[in-house]
C-alpha cells in the first residue's frame, strides 16, 4: 500500500469519538382517521391520513459507538403505532392535530423513560400529509 494510503487509513482509525454529542432518528408510518372538533372547515368531518412520525434523540456517543441502540427507538415507535394505527385518533387524543400527536408521543417517551438515561428527545415530527408536518423541537 502506498504511504499516502497508509496515512488515509490511519485517519479513519480516529473516527470513533466517545462522548461526542449526536442526534439519531427513526421514522415510521401508520394509517388513521380523525376529525378536528370545533374546526370551521372540512377537517371537522372524519377523514383519514397516511401519518409519518420521525423521532430523534440527542446524547453522547457511548463506548459502543452508539448514542442509543436504534432498537430502542424502533420498539418505542412500534408501541405508539400499535395504539394509533388504523384507529380513530379522537378515541385516544381528543383533538388530534399533528401538534397534539407530537405532544402525545412526547408524553409516552417521558412517562416510561425510554431514553434509559442515555439520551433525551431532540425533536418529534408528525407529517399529516406529504408536505405538512408539525415539529416539536426540544
SS3 133: strand
Backbone angles phi, psi at 104, to 5 degrees: -60, -45
Is 119 among the catalytic positions?
no
Q: Which three cell numbers stand for residue 38?
A: 370545533
Give the length of the chain.
138
- Given the residues 31, 43, 47, 75, select the one marked as catalytic: 43
Whether 6 is a known active-site residue: answer no
Q: Determine if residue 38 is left, alpha or beta; phi over 0 gives left, psi from -120 to 50 gives alpha, anything else beta.
A: left
Q: Which of 34, 49, 102, 128 is catalytic?
A: 128
For residue 50, give the C-alpha cell: 397516511
> 138: which DSSP letter?
-
Between CA 102 and CA 52, with CA 130 as vertex, the angle to 5 degrees is 40
Residue recorded with cell 418529534: 124
The catalytic residues are 43, 86, 128
Amino acid at each position: 500500500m502506498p504511504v499516502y494510503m497508509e496515512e488515509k487509513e490511519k485517519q479513519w482509525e480516529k473516527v470513533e469519538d466517545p462522548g461526542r454529542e449526536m442526534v439519531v432518528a427513526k421514522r415510521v408510518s401508520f394509517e388513521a382517521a380523525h376529525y378536528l372538533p370545533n374546526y370551521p372547515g372540512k377537517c371537522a368531518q372524519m377523514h383519514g391520513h397516511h401519518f409519518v412520525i420521525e423521532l430523534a434523540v440527542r446524547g453522547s456517543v457511548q463506548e459502543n459507538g452508539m448514542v442509543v441502540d436504534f432498537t430502542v427507538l424502533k420498539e418505542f415507535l412500534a408501541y405508539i403505532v400499535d395504539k394509533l394505527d388504523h384507529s380513530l385518533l379522537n378515541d385516544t387524543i381528543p383533538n388530534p392535530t399533528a401538534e397534539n400527536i407530537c405532544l402525545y408521543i412526547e408524553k409516552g417517551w417521558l412517562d416510561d423513560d425510554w431514553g434509559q438515561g442515555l439520551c433525551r428527545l431532540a425533536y418529534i415530527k408528525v407529517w399529516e400529509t406529504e408536505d405538512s408536518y408539525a415539529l416539536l423541537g426540544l
